[in-house]
Structure 1
Amino acid sequence: MNSNVEIAEWMLKTIREESERVALMSGWLEMNRFQWVSLVSRTITHITNGGTILVCTDEDRQWFGKYITSSINRFGTQRPILPIFDFMGVLSKVSLLKETSLINDALSISYKDYAFWYIGKTNTPLANLAFSKENGFLWILDESIQDGLTIESLDGMLDYKLIQLFRIFEEALFGSLFGRISLE
């Protein structure tokens, strides 16, 4: 018996299975929507009131931090450039080993009002820095913290969920800026 499958047939089967997996996981955010709405509303309000968002991640999610900062302010779109920046572009990793209060002092001089958008685990110097500042947009892996969204790091759909969260946030942000969504 020949076990080879033609690539077109294999691809169709794989695409359908992947689509079913994504569909099955779509309800996870609905269960956390009240917490999510609160975090998103607070972050959008921060930005619309002139605040800056500094995106930072743990080491395993650095790709996602770069995705956020390159996507949110991509050129060629009919929308404004927003004060959402890659934090690691602002400060070197060596600086994170120093006292967080000194870093916060330097950031307070540089930015009128800033908050951290942190994605990752809690056991890193960068997490400690992000937690030292109030009103962060915190997407925390494997631990529940007040005013943060908890995501499981061992979830096979983690990358999809991160991108889904970003896309929903991005739509809410620009919907609010263009008057299509009210934060009240």
Structure 2
Amino acid sequence: MSNSFLKFTLEQIRENGTYTSWLEERRLEWSPLIASKLALLLQGYTFIVITDEQRAWFEEYFLSQINASTTRPLVPFVSLKGIYNKACNTQEDIDLLNDLLSISFPNGYAFFYIGTNTGFKFKIANSKAESMLWLFDEQLQNSFYLSSRDKELDYKLISLYKVFEQSLEAVLFSKVEI
């Protein structure tokens, strides 16, 4: 991650005002994680969005917004539900799903998971080292930690989306290096 991306992130947090001010103290966690995932996107990866049940609304919000802009190219974010809407209850099911996705996305894919670290949805997302994880109540390497007990959680998820989208646009248009 370049210093310019870290500086850009700080500027975006400050320009967005109070709704992202909480992220300023955590930008050193946020920036490297997001920079690495944006690099995958530039390499042609598709991101498959998965959420736990409590964050299903955020999956809908994210997918409805990420390609709403008409000023930039479309980016490959899709819902797992649209590709494979069956339960994965065993490791073999997860392996078969990953085989299907490897065939479907030959340029590569990663999961974008928002939720707790329990259940098979998390296990699916965690089956790929490249996945982007926004985890609740658990800190894992290469994930962004949030508290499910935070009264401002929904607000923070939307603000994270906004900073993510601004970073995405800046990277796509070479306004900042990652």
Length-normalised TM-score, structure 1: 0.82
* 1:44 aligns to 2:38 (yes or no): yes
Q: Distance in 2 between matches of 1:100 and 1:46?
A: 22
Residue of structure 1 in register with 2:60 after alignment: 66
Matching residue within 84, 88, 97 for 2:89:
97
Structure number with larger C-alpha Rg: 1
Whether contact under 8 Å (2:49, 2:77) holds in the other structure is yes
* 1:175 aligns to 2:167 (yes or no): no
Residue of structure 2 in register with 1:158 after alignment: 153
- What number of residue pairs does the alignment pair up? 159
Q: 1:59 to 1:93 in 2, by over 3 A?
A: farther
Residue of structure 2 in register with 1:131 after alignment: 126
Matching residue within 81, 84, 95 for 1:88:
81
Structure 1 stretches of at least 4 aligned residues deviating more than 4 Å after TM superposition: none
Q: Distance in 1 between matches of 2:161 and 2:135?
A: 14
Residue of structure 2 in register with 1:14 after alignment: none
Q: Distance in 1 between matches of 2:36 and 2:164?
A: 12
Letter in 2 for 1:97: N
Q: Distance in 1 between matches of 2:22 and 2:166?
A: 19
Whether contact under 8 Å (2:47, 2:111) holds in the other structure is yes
Task: List runs of 5+ in structure 2 lacking aligned partners.
Answer: 1-16
How far apart are residue 156 of structure 1 and its match? 0.6
Q: Distance in 2 between matches of 1:32 and 1:135?
A: 21
SS, match of residue 97 in structure 1: coil
Q: Distance in 2 between matches of 1:130 and 1:171?
A: 24
More RCO (CA 8 Å, sep 6+): 2
Length-normalised TM-score, structure 2: 0.85
Q: Distance in 2 between matches of 1:38 and 1:87?
A: 25
Whether contact under 8 Å (2:45, 2:109) holds in the other structure is yes
Task: List runs of 5+ in structure 1 lacking aligned partners.
Answer: 1-21
Q: Distance in 1 between matches of 2:124 and 2:132?
A: 13
Whether contact under 8 Å (2:114, 2:135) holds in the other structure is yes
Q: 1:148 to 1:72 in 2, by over 3 A?
A: same
How far apart are residue 122 of structure 1 and its match? 0.6
Identity across the alignment (%): 38
